[in-house]
Structure 1
Amino acid sequence: MSANSFDARSTLRVGDESYEIFKLDKVEGSARLPYSLKVLLENLLRTEDGANITADHIRAVGGWDSQAQPSQEIQFTPARVIMQDFTGVPCVVDLATMREAVKELGGDPAKINPLAPAELVIDHSVIADKFGTHEAFAQNVELEYGRNRERYQFLRWGQTAFDEFKVVPPGTGIVHQVNIEHLARTVMVRNGQAYPDTLVGTDSHTTMVNGLGVLGWGVGGIEAEAAMLGQPVSMLIPRVVGFKLTGELKPGTTATDLVLTITEMLRKHGVVGKFVEFYGEGVAATSLANRATIGNMSPEFGSTAAIFPIDAETIKYLKLTGRSEQQLALVEAYAKEQGLWLDPAAEPDFSEKLELDLASVVPSIAGPKRPQDRIVLAGAAQQFAKDVLNYVEAGVTGGDDRKPGVPQQTAPHGVASPVDEASAESFPASDAPAYGSDDNGAGAPQHADGTGERVPSNPVTVTAPDGSTYEIDHGAVTVAAITSCTNTSNPYVMVAAALVAKKAVEKGLTRKPWVKTTLAPGSKVVTDYFDKAGLTPYLDKVGFNLVGYGCTTCIGNSGPLPDEVSKAVNENDLAVTSVLSGNRNFEGRINPDVKMNYLASPPLVVAYAIAGSMKVDITKEALGVDTEGKPVYLADIWPTEAEVNDVVANAIGEDMFSKSYSDVFAGDAQWQALPIPTGNTFEWDPESTYVRKPPYFEGMAMDPSPVQDIAGARVLAKLGDSVTTDHISPAGAIKADTPAGKYLTEHGVERRDFNSYGSRRGNHEVMIRGTFANIRLRNQIAPGTEGGFTRDFTVADGPVSFIYDASQNYQAAGIPLVVLAGKEYGSGSSRDWAAKGTALLGVKAVIAESYERIHRSNLIGMGVLPLQFPEGATAETLGLTGEETFSITGVTALNDGSTPRTVKVTTDTGVEFDAVVRIDTPGEADYYRNGGIMQYVLRSLIRK
């Protein structure tokens, strides 16, 4: 019960139902707040207990100073938790382990139980092994169950053992799309109360639901576990960046183009740790599908959340997706009563402001390794010619003659682009191709790099299984994937892709034979509307057969390239590419054979599959020739806006959503037939290579030991800028000659059954061995290596060693470890194993130039101290090589109940500096004192 200090408790009547609500207008200053802070304010009003959440906290939000730096801590209590299986399995493993730990400490295991709704969607486990056939989906599902039976049995046990825990079985959809289409409430009803739906999720793209007006963001699995167990999320009242939208998108531009533009703008502006909130007249012109696409990419531009207020468009979408009439009426009535309904003309207080005219957006892609590196489509081939030089040696293998391209200019936000964005055309042209032939004749190669330089070329002849041959070179598109929650939730870009396929087929075009083409929608509704519109056969003919309902390529589950392509690529060191409609294109993530990865809208994915190479300027050159031998250009097969809208209007209905989600937790016969154990505690199988009891609580006492300074530490890894959680804890394939591969081999697992790191997150033995094992990781203390290598200074001269092997030697010798890093350390997905693995390798502190929010928080949650170099200082400016021995003093000040602003770092080589302590809230300090968040929660629950 709320203390109700502001007399905010009231009643809202909607139809025949009455709900208890907490009125925001009872708090002075609430009317001027941004939407997102109004949601936080309501959360505090409703959960005020006089201890953790007080009237002063409520007043602090009401009196928020938009220009102040965040300093006021509040406790946010999310209404629910959402998980995907890669991160959800270790969550349930930890909960099962906590039950045993509580029992061992004399407590009641039943106390370890979700206190808020927790929903898990299995979407990360399907791998696109099979493709290009009608049987691909069924074959991939069969392989998925074969590989993941132990995990799925464990999750089914969890569904029976824990209250308020539900599982959406495999083959249903992607967690974030299932969330917006079915699980999201927008306004929550529980115990007679109505309040804003809020959540935290174990995937950074939880923010997709921000498009529905639902405030939530990604957290690590360990934070999600705490939220499930009733622990509020400790946070500082954030700065809120207002992003004003004006105008409308031009025909020929897509939501993907829009979101890549926004990502680039916000990365440049700097929004890490901030909320972004969209407002203005342009919001009303932005469809819910496009809002969700933008919200989804919040982690890519670094913000905590990227939210749109509730309006008529929200209600329209909720109705389309099958929500009840009572729910629709409640959402509208509640939002209007609480001042949460969008007023396009209003301008709340914001900390900072940006503005974008939607009409200025032009067709774009992003790559070759970061989502914020946007490239105007008209300059993509030229930019590739420049970027490929970072992946191959120019001149070593010859090159084809290139005519000079258009003059290079620096586009807004510092991205090199060969055209001025302000004058770049949107396609398609009405009749004639806007980007057709030039004075060299129809379809003449243009491949210019902008300077007339020869572009590296190494053509290789490949023989297909049927005996036919073809040639691939640097830039060959070997993976073209319509995948990921970012775009597959958006019917406009999905229908556009299908119409591109239809028009291509009608002209006799198809994918190039070296391109692995896959379609992995975010929900069954997508294939339903493709079928109803008669578009499925055309996608199939271009090679985009259904491979599964899941993340597939975007998470690294692209499956192997055809053997003959893989062999050609690896034996000739070709810099081949992938094009995917995803949100992540980090190095080493998509496919181990593919060096350069590009994000693009679904229709452009189809176009690049037909073109077959990033060297092709698809805005000017022919994609191929038709049945009469005439060149076919992108403009010839690009659908008009009216064509797309017509299909969306006639092929998508409320009944599709109602049917798809009518019994979403039940699963198919294969799911229901899985045998499961029973009981409150799990029966661990000592032979399992998927699910093992982790060591977090071994030897744990009721009272934590005092925090210690760090002495005699060695460097496990010295890393550069933009090291992602993919680099720290890869999700993709496990190589046989790595410590993780050797462990599996020693335990009788055949190489074909290795599965992925992501699928084995319930086994700490695999995950420790996979930490810092990304094939593209470059550890600067082991120069000349790529992958999970370091130098082991427990041995004379510090020979190069696997990171895991060196860690074991250091821990056996009682030597603590540190990691040195550059800017944006830990960007990317909110992987709990990036922190868990770091801790279990014996790392006691990370010293970086800056952190992404989730990873910094996760490090604290695992008892690892995040430190920051002094302003302007780096490992390089301080002369650190990684061969030093480190001592860190002043950490013990935490034992006094305070958090030191800095600690002293010294080395045996005489380097000395004050590192900033990045424990940002008192709550985080409590977690660190307890050795981690799980230990803190466990002790708290036992004492209740």
Structure 2
Amino acid sequence: MLNSFNTRATLTVADQHYTIHRLADLPGAARLPFALQILLENLLRCEDGVTVRRADIEALLNWDATAEPDREIQFRPARVLMQDFTGVPAVVDLAAMRDALRQLGGDPARINPLSPAELVIDHSIQVDYAGDVNAAARNTECEFARNQERYQFLKWGQSAFANFQVVPPGNGIIHQINVEHLARVVFAQSNDGQLIAYPDTVVGTDSHTTMINGLGVLGWGVGGIEAEAALLGQPISMLIPKVVGVELTGQLSPGTTATDLVLTLVERLRQHGVVGKLVEFYGPAVANLPMGERTTIANMAPEYGATCGIFPLDAVTIAFLRLSGRPESQIALVEQYARAQNWFGGSHAAPAVYSEGFTFDLGSVVPSLAGPKRPQDRVALVDLKTNVNQALAAMHRERGCAGTPVSIAIDGQSIELRDGALVIAAITSCTNTSNPSVLFAAGLLAHNAVARGLMVPAWVKTSLAPGSQVATRALAAAGLLNPLETLGFHVVGYGCTTCIGNSGPLNTAVSNAINDGQLTVAAVLSGNRNFEGRVHAEVRLNYLASPPLVVAYAIAGRIDIDLINEPLGNDKTGQPVYLRDIWPNETAIQQAMTAHLSRADFIASYADVFRGEQRWQQLAAPTGQQFAWDVNSTYIQQPPYFKQLTLTPAPLTSIHNARCLAVLGDSVTTDHISPAGNIKRDSPAGRYLLKRGVQPSEFNSYGARRGNHEIMMRGTFANIRLRNQLAPGTEGGVTRHQPSGELLTIYDAAMRYQLEQVPVIIIAGKEYGSGSSRDWAAKGPQLLGVRAVIAESYERIHRTNLVCMGILPLQFMAGDSAAQLGLTGEELFSIPDLTADTRQLLISATTPTGAMIQFNTQVRIDTPNEWEYYQHGGILPYVVRRLAMESN
């Protein structure tokens, strides 16, 4: 590699010599924010004169903080992180790429991760059983029974691919395992006889990869397609971003939690506008902010819309690395490297320059929740009852009536369920189960509640899904697991559960009552996502809250309660008990954490993290360089992306007389687009499984079947809450075929259009594709024949994923929209040819009456690399062709 700026230097730590790229004396570097200094080091280390040139480094050194991003750089992350829902299709694609490369005359072994890749199996556990001491064991048994094929495939991948490790199920949530164990913070790698030290950077196939930024590691979520390219040595193309500096001052008031803080920051940052930007936290309050609070804030960067939210490397970082069991040699390297770069403690040789920013006072935070549909819709606890009543009134108007109370019997008890009943209370998700302060708060609140004789009503499904085994050990050691279990919060397994829709079935009587009475019921979860249809198909009101508030609402049994002024229930003597009576004080929480969270717990929890439990060890898996596809499998199928792949791509053509598959509104998330949650019997995917002899009890979830494109394409745009304006009055994946006007599922309509050789497009509003970085939100539309999307704006990751699957992202010009232009979706759309220099395209839409509507759109292929991917029909064919040509 080149060294144009003469930054190569030697760092000595405990008699070990490392080569580093020292930034301290590089003119212009000190004024850059911490995140951009990490990117600068990446460019300096990877300077090759081709993908990284001197001019690229100079552009970053001369960064104009206020200018709109327009300079492309090539970023090479140190490693790639995957969870099993997104990781399985990535490994499926790598296996299929090996087959495709062999067909083109190349060496299949060239398809191999070139940088460390780790996959954590954490998304497959479902809460089939809850509320009893055997729940975790029974759920794990179901998990292995359902996912045997997937797990066998991943074990094959672990043996077939170099640099690829799998963390078996039962260990915890990917992001917590990343923070507690996988993250290096500073890498040390031998290269040509030299030991090189450099920052740990990561991209992950889950949008909450950003959690690692709390540890001072730069990382963010990308689509599975982009991650695959990074695994194969392709740099990630990005524009030098704007950086928003958030100065943190003050301290949290008694009674407030890290969850309240992050929900308030999500609201504030959304108001400020940070989409596509990096956020960097600094200021006097940071030094006193524990790692749990930092990772909580960093975790929810996707919810506030930023690429990431990073914290500095400082004494808190070092203390956490020691607590979490990292070797002392690694801890010393991290600290000395950070000091050599002038990064330690967030210090710079000169004050950092930010594109924009604001000051945030932690003392302004009040107890809060967020909902009922979006994580950025914060509601102060004191206002929640009003918020719920307004949401109920709106849903009643939409439905035309209120729900009818229904009497049911559970465990011999006669119960009346009505609108506002709480049916799910879940301590779940990487956001809060990573934070010991809120977990101990929940345990102490449960202890106080049990002491007063309070219990959780029978209709509430309660669950505790710790982010790692460390959390369970600590709660048990503190004597807090037992009171949680007394209230029904038994451990249900280790993984991402309710937050991603793996909430499992409700009690049959409760489910029947909801349907019979058309009831609008609620869930409270300590998660980061509460989009429509995500948590549970039968639950319409979903609120994010801290773990202690989850316990409190579970005791109340309803969401339409004012917890400030109304009692949770009555104690053993019949006296009312209020939330303030059982809320734990800060001293008790800190004392419990200090006494019962130990380095020994971390070391014990991660001693055999890659070995797995006995079921995993005994699981038989295929071997060989190429995967032996089973055409009868309903879990793993060879994808069709490389059918008839030629060494050179076909020329691009215009899109002529396309039909609109769906006209969608604002804030359509990847949850609306990508298949997620349970598979319904009468859905296209359900019919596919029934035809192949799979019973509904064995359907599993869409997420678990992401390795089968046949199921995933059938579930694309099939979200039960999707509203397609082409089919007014309907909800779910429904559209009208044109010109027949026949009402069909979106999948069936897409297949008919393919038979008719008619291309299709999607029209959407603002923030199209917000939410999780789901690659199937781009893969599914591509398989349905979608050639282009025209939206008012895009979320960053999804727009990239569309390009990476060969779908053209177009954006309405400012002030334009489908409604403003009079587009109904019944038109015939024609999109002209484009070249690498095309920035705008004139679209022609012919109405059923023959009238012509023409409008300009912005071409959102933002970088030269993206243009190459689009020319090749996507990034995967591009990589295969490049490797084939190198082989030949």
TM-score for the superposition, normalised by structure 2: 0.98
The corresponding residue for 2:372 is 368
1:462 is matched with which residue: 386, 408, 412? Answer: 408
The alignment partner of 2:44 has SS state of helix
The corresponding residue for 1:219 is 222
The alignment partner of 2:820 has SS state of coil
The corresponding residue for 2:589 is 644
Q: Is residue 518 of structure 1 aligned with residue 449 of structure 2? A: no
The corresponding residue for 1:18 is 17
In 2, Cα distance between equivalents of 1:361 and 1:34: 26
The Cα shift of 1:391 comes to: 1.5
In 2, Cα distance between equivalents of 1:682 and 1:689: 16
Pairing of 1:425-504 with structure 2 (within 5 A): 458-464=404-410, 466-504=411-449
The Cα shift of 1:330 comes to: 0.8
In 1, Cα distance between equivalents of 2:821 and 2:206: 36
In 1, Cα distance between equivalents of 2:59 and 2:465: 46
Pairing of 1:171-190 with structure 2 (within 5 A): 171-190=170-189
- Code of the aligned partner of 2:759: P
The corresponding residue for 1:901 is 839
Write the deviation string for residues 764-783 of structure 1: whole angstroms up to 9, x where unpaired.
Answer: 00000000000000000001
- Code of the aligned partner of 1:740: A
In 1, Cα distance between equivalents of 2:57 and 2:752: 51
The corresponding residue for 2:800 is 857
In 2, Cα distance between equivalents of 1:394 and 1:726: 22
The Cα shift of 1:28 comes to: 2.0
Q: Is residue 671 of structure 1 aligned with residue 616 of structure 2? A: yes
The corresponding residue for 1:918 is 860
The corresponding residue for 2:875 is 933
Q: Is residue 270 of structure 1 aligned with residue 270 of structure 2? A: no
- Code of the aligned partner of 2:254: P
The alignment partner of 1:615 has SS state of coil
Q: Is the 8 A contact 1:28 1:63 kept in 2?
A: no
Q: Is the 8 A contact 1:789 1:801 kept in 2?
A: yes
The corresponding residue for 2:633 is 688
The corresponding residue for 2:355 is 351
Q: Is residue 662 of structure 1 aligned with residue 607 of structure 2? A: yes
Write the deviation string for residues 117-166 of structure 1: whole angstroms up to 9, x where unpaired.
Answer: 00000000000010000000000000000000000000000000000000
The Cα shift of 1:844 comes to: 0.2
The corresponding residue for 2:261 is 258
Q: Is the 8 A contact 1:280 1:347 kept in 2?
A: no
Q: Is the 8 A contact 2:205 2:221 kept in 1?
A: yes
Q: 1:748 to 1:396 in 2, by over 3 A?
A: closer
The alignment partner of 2:789 has SS state of strand
1:716 is matched with which residue: 654, 661, 667? Answer: 661
In 2, Cα distance between equivalents of 1:874 and 1:132: 49
Q: Is residue 843 of structure 1 aligned with residue 786 of structure 2? A: yes
Q: Is the 8 A contact 2:782 2:805 kept in 1?
A: yes
1:292 is matched with which residue: 282, 291, 295? Answer: 295
The alignment partner of 2:95 has SS state of helix
1:881 is matched with which residue: 824, 843, 853? Answer: 824
Larger displacement relative to structure 2 (24-33 or 198-207): 24-33
Q: Is the 8 A contact 2:21 2:45 kept in 1?
A: yes
The corresponding residue for 1:392 is 396
In 2, Cα distance between equivalents of 1:612 and 1:928: 52
The Cα shift of 1:939 comes to: 1.3
Q: Is the 8 A contact 2:635 2:707 kept in 1?
A: yes
Q: Is the 8 A contact 2:325 2:603 kept in 1?
A: yes
- Code of the aligned partner of 2:363: A
The alignment partner of 2:862 has SS state of coil
The Cα shift of 1:393 comes to: 3.3
Q: 1:388 to 1:739 in 2, by over 3 A?
A: same
Percent identical among aligned pairs is 59
The corresponding residue for 2:5 is 6
The alignment partner of 2:473 has SS state of helix
The corresponding residue for 1:331 is 334
In 2, Cα distance between equivalents of 1:396 and 1:849: 31
The Cα shift of 1:82 comes to: 0.2
Pairing of 1:72-151 with structure 2 (within 5 A): 72-151=71-150
The Cα shift of 1:76 comes to: 0.2
Pairing of 1:559-598 with structure 2 (within 5 A): 559-598=504-543
Larger displacement relative to structure 2 (8-17 or 817-826): 8-17
Q: Is the 8 A contact 1:80 1:198 kept in 2?
A: yes
Q: 1:395 to 1:232 in 2, by over 3 A?
A: closer
The Cα shift of 1:383 comes to: 1.1
The corresponding residue for 1:302 is 305
Q: Is the 8 A contact 1:666 1:672 kept in 2?
A: yes
The alignment partner of 1:188 has SS state of strand
In 2, Cα distance between equivalents of 1:114 and 1:143: 32
In 2, Cα distance between equivalents of 1:396 and 1:781: 22
The alignment partner of 1:659 has SS state of helix
Query: What RMSD over aligned residues (CA atoms) do the two structures have, in Å?
Result: 1.1
The alignment partner of 1:829 has SS state of coil
Write the deviation string for residues 498-542 of structure 1: whole angstroms up to 9, x where unpaired.
Answer: 111111111111111110000001100010001111111101010
Q: Is the 8 A contact 1:460 1:473 kept in 2?
A: yes
Pairing of 1:192-203 with structure 2 (within 5 A): 192-203=195-206
Q: Is the 8 A contact 2:523 2:543 kept in 1?
A: yes
The corresponding residue for 1:282 is 285
Write the deviation string for residues 299-319 of structure 1: whole angstroms up to 9, x where unpaired.
Answer: 001111110010100001111
Q: Is residue 535 of structure 1 aligned with residue 476 of structure 2? A: no
The Cα shift of 1:904 comes to: 1.1
The corresponding residue for 1:630 is 575
The corresponding residue for 1:427 is none
Q: Is the 8 A contact 2:403 2:519 kept in 1?
A: no
In 2, Cα distance between equivalents of 1:929 and 1:527: 51
- Code of the aligned partner of 1:104: Q
Write the deviation string for residues 321-346 of structure 1: whole angstroms up to 9, x where unpaired.
Answer: 00111111111111111122234797
Q: Which runs of 5+ in 2 are unaligned?
A: none
